[in-house]
Amino acid sequence: MSLREETTPRETETRRPDAAPAALTVRLSRPMVWFPAALMLLAVCLAAGLITGAAGIPPWAVVLQAVDWLPFVSVDTGLTPLEQNLLWELRLPRVLLGALVGGMLAMAGAGYQGVFRNPLADPYLLGAAAGAGMAATLVIVLVKGEAATAIVPVAAFAGAVGGVLLAYGLGAAARKTGDGTATLVLAGVAVTSFLTAIQTFVQQFGVDELQRIYAWLLGDVGGEWSELGMIVPYAFVAAGVLLAHGRMLDVLSVGEEEAVTLGVRAARVRLIVLLAASLATAAAVAVSGLIPFVGIVVPHIVRRLVGGSYRMVLPLSLLVGAAFLVLADLVARTVLAPAELPIGVVTAFVGAPFFLLVLHFTRRVET
């Protein structure tokens, strides 16, 4: 009798859809500690990005200028109108855009990994980058003048969504006859190769635009207030949907059959999360170009810290991803100052070795 009394509560607890795995209990015992830490990290990175630059503006003057921006406060910063304009029109939107793009890419990566239960799933491994790159290249080559500048973000947005949906459709068809854990990545590789081939072919007809094409493909967050305002609505919707489905992704992580028995419509949840993650990716790519590996590096770091519950992973990926990309942009702006290194190069230097480590440990777990 005593044995039943001890085992029954444990069995009941493991069936609860919102219960964390036993291995995560210690990590999640004080989960709220991580949110202030992530917010502090983001605040430090934002401040560093605003203070640091090639213009040589003293840090104390930047701090005074920030205080002067507060309502009903007037402070003599000692900065010239040109320096004030540099801070307000160049640095601040760049830092905020970098934070928004980084947060969207990291959250999208976490969402993809939750949907497909695959740690290698990433916005740039599922055809989003290739679709956006092909669409942007087509516009740059075929459309001349200022009209191309306005159309490129829209085309990149549509191309990113189309690339992901194509990879998902091919993966779903192949999953009927193959291993579902690998078919999605393989479908993404196939779609990426095909779309990249089309992009390379189109480039041959726009040799004069190669520098502009490569600049977009290597990523850039040096945007303007208009670009920031353009993607905020999409980012807000995508983030809201993903955060609202964190608990559902936790249920899906226990398995398809178990999720169905708990009343979760797995196919519907997967489709909604996939669309939201694709929307976040497309919005980020539309204004920043291609910035790889953020969707792999950040969610895995967060999981190491807080465990695998998506109710924690998704919001923390948003905050840490924002800080990560602001820091990467800071490195890109300063390492070769006054010249700038493409931000995609910085994230690739960090992300490529990290991806190999993830792949190595994933294969060890599977074997």
pLDDT for res 182? 67
Share of the chain above pLDDT 90, in %: 23
What mean pLDDT comes out for the span 237-251? 93
pLDDT for res 27? 45
What mean pLDDT comes out for the span 220-227? 83
Q: Does the bond joining 9 to the residue before it have cis omega, within 30 degrees of 0?
A: no
Question: For residues 108 and 186, which has the higher predicted lDDT (pLDDT)?
Answer: 108
pLDDT for res 323? 96
| Cα gap 49→67, rounded to integer Å | 16
Place of tokens 């009394």: 5
pLDDT for res 179? 53
Is residue 15 scored above 80 in pLDDT? no
Among 149-163, 241-255, 297-311, name the one with the lowest average pLDDT. Answer: 149-163
DSSP structure string for 263-315: T--HHHHHHHHHHHHHHHHHHHHHHH----SHHHHHHHHHHHHH-S-HHHHHH
Is residue 30 scored above 60 in pLDDT? no
**C-beta of residue 278 within 8 angstroms of C-beta of residue 254:** no
Among 65-74, 79-88, 168-177, 347-356, name the one with the lowest average pLDDT. Answer: 168-177
Place of tokens 């990590």: 27
CB count in 10 Å sphere of residue 291: 31
Classify burial at 101, counting beta carbons within 10 Å of its beta carbon; exposed 0-12, middle 13-18, buried 19 or more: buried
pLDDT for res 17? 40
Which two structure tokens, joined as six digits, stand for 356? Answer: 């190999």
Could you list the beta-strand ranges (E) of the chain. Answer: none
- Domains of the chain (ranges plus CATH)? 82-366 (1.10.3470.10)
Place of tokens 């990291």: 106
pLDDT band for position 61 (cuts 50, 70, 90): confident
Place of tokens 């520098």: 211
| Cα gap 260→34, rounded to integer Å | 32
Among 12-26, 117-131, 214-228, 341-355, name the one with the lowest average pLDDT. Answer: 12-26
The pLDDT mean for the chain works out to: 81
pLDDT for res 321? 96
**C-beta of residue 321 within 8 angstroms of C-beta of residue 294:** yes
**C-beta of residue 323 within 8 angstroms of C-beta of residue 38:** yes
pLDDT for res 180? 55
Residues 6+ apart with CB under 8 A from 109: 121, 122, 123, 277, 294, 295, 296, 298, 299, 317
Place of tokens 């990994």: 113
pLDDT band for position 23 (cuts 50, 70, 90): very low
Note the pTM of the prediction, 2 decimals: 0.83
pLDDT for res 79? 81
Residue 79, SS3 per DSSP: coil
Say how far residue 221 (Cα) sits from the centre of its chain.
13
What mean pLDDT comes out for the span 196-220? 83
Residue 28, SS3 per DSSP: coil
| Cα gap 91→85, rounded to integer Å | 9
**Which of 358, 351, 328 is closest to 45 using CA atoms?**
328
pLDDT for res 24? 39
Is residue 284 scored above 80 in pLDDT? yes
**C-beta of residue 306 within 8 angstroms of C-beta of residue 251:** no
Is residue 57 scored above 50 in pLDDT? yes
Residues 185-205 as b/e (b if ≥16 CB within 10 A, e otherwise) read: bebbebbbeebbeebeebbee
| Cα gap 307→212, rounded to integer Å | 42
